[in-house]
Amino acid sequence: MPSWEGLGAELGITSAHAIVVVLSAVGIYVAFLVFVRIFGQRVLTAMSTFDVVITVMLGAVAGRVILGHPPTLMSGVLGLGTLFLLEVVFGHLGTRARWQRVFNSPARLLMIGDRVDEHALRRAHITHSELNGALRRAGVRSYREVACVLHEPGGGISVLHRGVPIDRRILADVAGADRIPEEFLTEDIGDAPLDAPHDR
């Protein structure tokens, strides 16, 4: 039977270890942001079995680095608390236009009309199979139904259909939106808000 002192040591944490846990959590968090910025939004989505395995391995590596050896309950709580605090801080900064450009890549065009942008696919690390899967999920039966396909900052793929003109304001934060043909867009309506009432 372990003594109460030994049990307390296993559950607790020293001040030196606490500092190490906080610094490690900050370092891992910042490193993850940097890697996502370098390798693109694709790493945020698990689109295959391989991606799921990599995600689990990343979590295991990050957890060991943050908690150190041996991990304790208090080091785990402190590590989680630090990560949540960082998420709040960086989430608040991410609402500001200046920091949005630092933390997030802009939405990018993968298709314009029925033409696939091969360079954009390679840059986003998205295969034709994954693109076609996103089109099928959006109910697309032919490339001729597509106005444009976007790779969003969060890693998802958005499909906009032909038939209903696209409001230009929806594309305001899309890199290369000027390449979308005018026939797919609404007329320029200035800076009116999205919820502006229609004339009767």
Residue range 114-130, pLDDT digits in tens: 999 999 998 888 899 99
Backbone angles phi, psi at 50, to 5 degrees: -60, -45
Question: Structure pTM?
Answer: 0.58
| pLDDT at residue 191 tops 60 | no
What's the CA angle centered on 114, arms 108 and 120, to 5 degrees? 30
| pLDDT at residue 108 tops 50 | yes
Q: Which of 110, 112, 106, 132 is nearest to 121 (CA)?
A: 110
DSSP 8-state code for residue 111:
E
Which whole-number Å values give the CA distances from 10 to 20, 121, 145, 156, in the listed order? 17, 49, 61, 42
Length of the chain: 200
> How many Cα neighbours within 13 Å face the side chain of 119?
3
Question: Burial code of 125-160, b = ≥16 C-beta within 10 A, e = fewer?
Answer: ebeeebbeebbeeeebeeeeebbbbbbbbebebebb
Model pLDDT for residues 168-181, shown as the tens digit of each residue: 999 998 989 999 99
Bond preceding residue 106 cis, omega within 30 of 0:
no
Tokens read off for 40: 């693109």
